Chains A and B, each alone.
Chain A
Amino acid sequence: MSTRIYVPCDAAALAMGADVVARAIETQIAARRLDAEVVRNGSRGMFWLEPLVEVDTPKGRVGYGRVIPEAVEGMFDRNLIEGGAHPLCIGLTEEHPYLKKQERLTFARCGITDPLSIDDYKAHNGYRGLQRALNMSASGIVDEVLNSGLRGRGGAGFPTGIKWRTVLNTAADQKYIVCNADEGDSGTYADRMIMEGDPFVLIEGMTIAGIAVGATMGYIYIRSEYPHAVRTMRRAIEIARANGYLGTNVCGTGKSFDLDVRMGAGAYICGEETSLLESLEGKRGQIRPKPPLPAIQGLFGKPTVMNNVISLATVPIILDKGAEFYRDFGMGRSRGTLTIQLAGNIKYGGLVEKAFGITLREAIYDFGGGTATGRPLRAVQVGGPLGAYFPESLLDTPLDYEKFAELKGLVGHGGIVVFDDTVDLAKQARFAMEFCAIESCGKCTPCRVGSTRGVEVIDRIIANEDRTKNLELLDDLCELLLDGSLCALGGLTPYPVLSAVRYFPEDFSKPASLPVASLSAQEKQPWH
């Protein structure tokens, strides 16, 4: 059998030149007439090592990190095909401490298999969850998800099983499963990795959801900034359909479930579930007041399960191994694993799947190795643009929904953005307000107007105009946004702002500096 040489096709690997490396390897295989083939896998999530080339050998997969095309010929000279020694060699990939210390449940296959090989998927425990689900009652499937303790990984942390139960118990002629793949938070990329690296797990999770609640159609709403994920998901859906896993007769059971991919159009707000539904219906992505809940009146007014990619991609392993298996990981009311994404100014950025309860410090130092610049860490933002900025002194906080909520922070989607000591938190607070102003859907006044007023107030603070009065005003404005906004965009923008003021007051009391330049508004040219 020919030797498999893996070169990831994940967008982050491509961003470091994986395509050129793959071509160089293919050239060498042909020139040397070797019995070997290049397989494009997903990413293992050790991004500082990308492109990470792996060779399948009898002793396991041997990895070579940061491969550049110029190094490929030399690697073959040193017997790459049998995992030969080379300065770029990292040994057996699975033995790498970064992976070895993780608990990969949702990401069990990502980076190991060919994302578009359904045979690979099945050979690595794929579709076992669905098989089990097909022999269970609808209510039994929902109970399994409920008992696993799985909470929405998109950010809000709402119990997934309760959403499913509501949809199951709402009678309707049509129900939908919608996957929120509008992963817009800076510092997050777990959804993208799954869609590019293990798309069948998301398809399987959505199929189980459909069977459980009686929905026959599902939509995956993917942001347009993820063209590779869109392509991979579309191809995977076609393959699943051709193999009888989607369509009018799922696995020969006579049950119907099918999927379609829809692409967003660059609006951050469409990650908010009701805004996403409007967008899917072909409208402006303006949020809907709740109630009615999407579980009762969602897409096209029908009961809709709306879950994040990671929530849905975790369902297959829960159904395969049982609720207890999953629930045994984690702490307090945060059960299972969190897919932490180390980002920003970080030496070893990447995906770390660990049981809830790991502290920020462990994630940033034990895995991430500290800052990329080597300068002291000054702030971390967890949970995306709406998450709080924490100082070094809070790094011992465990990643747990409730612990973060106590500190007025968010675990969110698990993204951790690290900043070194060159960061100016007054500027970051201003950006939070500015981002809210750019991305506000305009439906409610606190968010639409308050965000612009917020930028102005912070500008006055930076310019040292009536600082005490303006800091009070900012506090007041943030309270209004928190209490009066219709959704999380306006409602949580105060988190980064207030945490910056609270933990980094020195950045708001510096001598007046030059005004911070506003982001180019990117106003569209009017049609003539």
Chain B
Amino acid sequence: MSVAQAWDADKARTRITELEGLPGALLPILHSLQEEFGYIDEAAIALIADALNISKAEVHGTISFYHDFRHSPPGRHTLKICRAESCQSMGCDKLISHVENRLGAKLGQTTEDGSFTAEQVFCLGLCALSPAVMLDGKPYGRVTADVADSLIDGARRRM
């Protein structure tokens, strides 16, 4: 379950200070902020640029380059569905349509009630057990429509 906190500039500064001395600190900082808040707030750009003595454009460009870094808070649960070749060979397209219908949200979107964010991912390294998904960081293999339903229902009950 997501433990993300609301944006807090002081908390962000603390996290940035912890890591700013590392060589190549930008990615570790961005991961740390996303771990804390679930996304990278626009207000973080100036803080990071200042701490690392780089331009805001460089920070912005780096955030936008990587698929992982979100610009807005995710739902309480994040369901990542693999749609790379191995999972394609085992019918992930059908699984994805099923999940999108069930959630009422397309991959890349968050459900209206804020409970789920569904995301596409290209390979979870579970290719011997395709199709594979990851729910809140936990992996699942050989996922049928029924399994996906029970994962979604189970997560909804827990929140």
Contact = CB atoms under 8 A, between A and B. Distances in A.
Nearest to A418: B89
B42 to A, nearest CB: 4
B126 A435 contact: no
A266 interface: yes
A513 interface: no
A414 to B, nearest CB: 12
Nearest to A384: B85
B103 interface: no
Given A284-B65, A285-B65, A344 B31 contact: no
Contact of B66 (A16, A267, A428): A267
A526 B130 CA distance: 33
Nearest to B123: A186
Interface of A: 11-12, 14-16, 47-48, 50, 183-189, 191-192, 224-228, 262-268, 279-286, 300, 341-346, 349-350, 372, 381, 385, 415, 417-420, 423, 428, 431, 435, 439, 441, 519-528
Nearest to B143: A15
A188 B125 contact: yes
B72 A12 contact: no
Contact of B120 (A185, A224, A522, A528): A522
B128 A12 contact: yes
A228 B124 CA distance: 11
A522 B125 contact: no
20 contacts: A12-B125, A15-B129, A47-B128, A184-B123, A186-B122, A188-B127, A225-B80, A262-B24, A263-B27, A263-B28, A264-B66, A280-B27, A281-B23, A284-B65, A341-B127, A343-B130, A415-B127, A417-B89, A439-B122, A522-B67
A280 B24 contact: yes
The 4 closest A-B pairs by CB, nearest first: A349-B128, A282-B26, A186-B84, A343-B127
B120 A526 contact: no
B86 A344 contact: yes
Nearest to B82: A186
Given A12-B141, A16-B141, A186-B127, A225 B24 contact: no
B112 to A, nearest CB: 15
A428 B80 CA distance: 21
Contact of B124 (A225, A279, A415): A225
A225 B133 CA distance: 11
A15 B140 contact: yes
Contacts of B24: 262, 280-282, 300
A282 B139 contact: no
Interface in B37-85: 42, 52, 58, 61-62, 64-72, 80, 82-85
Nearest to A349: B128
A350 B127 CA distance: 9
A335 to B, nearest CB: 26
Interface string B111-142: 00000000111111111111010100111111
B108 interface: yes
Given A183-B125, A279-B27, A282-B26, 18 more contacts: A12-B125, A15-B129, A47-B141, A183-B123, A186-B85, A186-B122, A262-B24, A265-B27, A267-B67, A343-B86, A344-B130, A381-B85, A428-B88, A439-B122, A521-B108, A522-B107, A526-B71, A528-B42
Given A265-B27, A344-B130, A283 B58 contact: yes
Nearest to B62: A284
B98 interface: no
Contacts of B31: 224, 263, 265
Contact of A431 (B58, B68, B85, B125): B85
Nearest to B121: A225
B9 interface: no
Interface string B2-24: 00000000000000000000011
Contacts of A528: 42
Contact of A189 (B58, B68, B70, B128): B128
Contacts of B89: 344-345, 417-420, 423
Given A344-B90, A519-B120, A192 B27 contact: no
Contact of B122 (A11, A268, A520): A268
A265 B69 contact: yes
Nearest to B127: A343
B51 to A, nearest CB: 12
Nearest to B69: A265
A372 B129 CA distance: 10
B1 interface: no
Contact of B142 (A16, A343, A439): A16
A349 B123 contact: no
B108 A520 contact: yes
B65 A520 contact: no
A419 B88 CA distance: 9
A465 to B, nearest CB: 24
B128 A300 contact: no
Which of A16, A186, A385, A423: most chain B Cβ within 10 A? A186
Contacts of A226: 125
